[in-house]
Structure 1
C-alpha cells in the first residue's frame, strides 16, 4: 500500500544522512508468537488464564510488569523471574524478523544512515543478537540503560548521543503510541509501522510523519 505522509519535504529532497532509531518488538521482529507461547507456559505454572496472541500484541512495548498487569489484572514479581530464567530461550527460538527487514537495514547502512534500537525490553542485546540483526546497529538501548523507559524521551536522547545524531535529522520507527510519544518528547520525526496492529489512522493521529506497512518501505522515503 502507498505510504501516507504529511506534506513535508522528503529526506531524499533534503539530502540528509541522519540517524534512524527502531523499536524492536513488532517493528523489526514478529515476537508475538514466542511471547504468547511463553506467557501461556507461565500461566499454566501459576494457574492464570490463557491469553490470545491478539491480547498479547496490545501489550507488547510496555514494560513487562505493566504488560502482565494488563493481561491478568494484577502482577507478581515472581512471574517475571520465572519468565526470564526459564522461558526467554523459548521466546527467542520463535522470534523472526519481518520479511525484507534484514535487506532494508543493510541498504540503509550502505547509504550512510546510522541505525539504533530503542526498546523497553530488559536484556535487549541478547534478543537483538538472537534475531540476527545486531550487525546493523551502532546503538542498542534497552530498559536497563535508562532511568525512564519509553514513552519518556530519555532512551531516544541517549541513543542519539551514542550515535552522534542530530535531532532534526533523526527518525524513530515504531508500531505504537508509546513510540510516537517518545518521538514527540525528543523532537525526532516518528514513522509509524502497522505491523504491530495499530492502523494508519491511529498512527497518523499520534503525529506520524509517515506511515508504512513494513520496514522495506523505508527505502522509498529515506533514500
Structure 2
C-alpha cells in the first residue's frame, strides 16, 4: 500500500481542451443524418457525460443514437489529435503532482483514445492508470471508475483526490469516499461546482498546489 496521496484527474475541461474536436464530431453526425445541429453551447453543456447521454439529451431518437455515435467516433478519430491542446497550467500541474503523489486519469472518453492523446501531449508517462468509459460498466457519476483506478494502483480512498470540472466528478468522488476538487476552467459554473465539490479553484495547477500544501500541513 502506497503512503503517497493519489490524485485522479478528469480530462476534458480539467487537463485538456478538446472542445473543437468534440463539437465538430457532433456537427458531422447531425449533418449526416439530416437533423438540425445543436448549438456549440448546447453540446458543451453535456461534455463529460457518456456519448449515449449526450446525443439523447440533444434530441436524437434512441434507435438512432448508436448510428450517431459511429459517425462521431470516426470524425473524432481523424481529428482529435490535431484539435486537442493542454489547458494552461495543465503540464505544470501534472509535473508538480508527480513529485509527491501517484497519478491517474478517470474519464468518460475511451481509455484507448485517452492514452494516445496523453502520449501525444507528452504527459502519459506521469500516470500510473487511465480508466476510460470502455473500462467500466457504470461511468461517472457512479463511483466505479474511481474505485477501479484506486484498486489498480493499490491506493486508499481516504488518501485520494479527484480533480474535475463537473458535478459528475464530484458525485463519483463522494460516493467513492474521495475528496473532490472542482476546477472552473472547464464546462461548469463556479456556483454549481461549489454546491457539489469539497473545494473549488480556478484550474488544475491551483488544485495540485492546494493538495500539496494540505499534505505538508497534515
Q: What TM-score, normalized by structure 2, do the two folds share?
A: 0.88
Q: Which residue number corresponds to residue 97 of structure 2?
A: 108
**Which among 7, 11, 25 is matched to residue 24 of structure 1?**
11
Change beyond 3 A, Cα 1:86–1:32 = closer
> Offset at 1:73?
4.0
Distance 2:39 2:154 in 1: 41
- Runs of 5+ unmatched residues, structure 2: 213-218
Q: Which residue number corresponds to residue 59 of structure 2?
A: 72
Distance 1:135 1:89 in 2: 24
Q: Which has the higher contact order (CA 8 A, sep 6+)?
A: 1
Q: CA RMSD in A?
A: 1.6
Q: Which residue number corresponds to residue 87 of structure 1?
A: 76
Contact kept, 8 Å, 1:48 with 1:72, in 2: the verdict is no
Contact kept, 8 Å, 2:181 with 2:207, in 1: the verdict is no
1:141-173: per-residue Cα shift (whole Å, max 9, x none)? Answer: 011111211111010001011122111110001
Change beyond 3 A, Cα 1:173–1:53 = same
Of stretches 122-131 and 33-42 in structure 1, the one that deviates more from structure 2 is 122-131
- Runs of 5+ unmatched residues, structure 1: 1-15
Distance 1:69 1:204 in 2: 27
Q: 3-state DSSP class of the match of 2:188? A: coil
Runs of 4+ in structure 1 off by over 4 angstroms are none
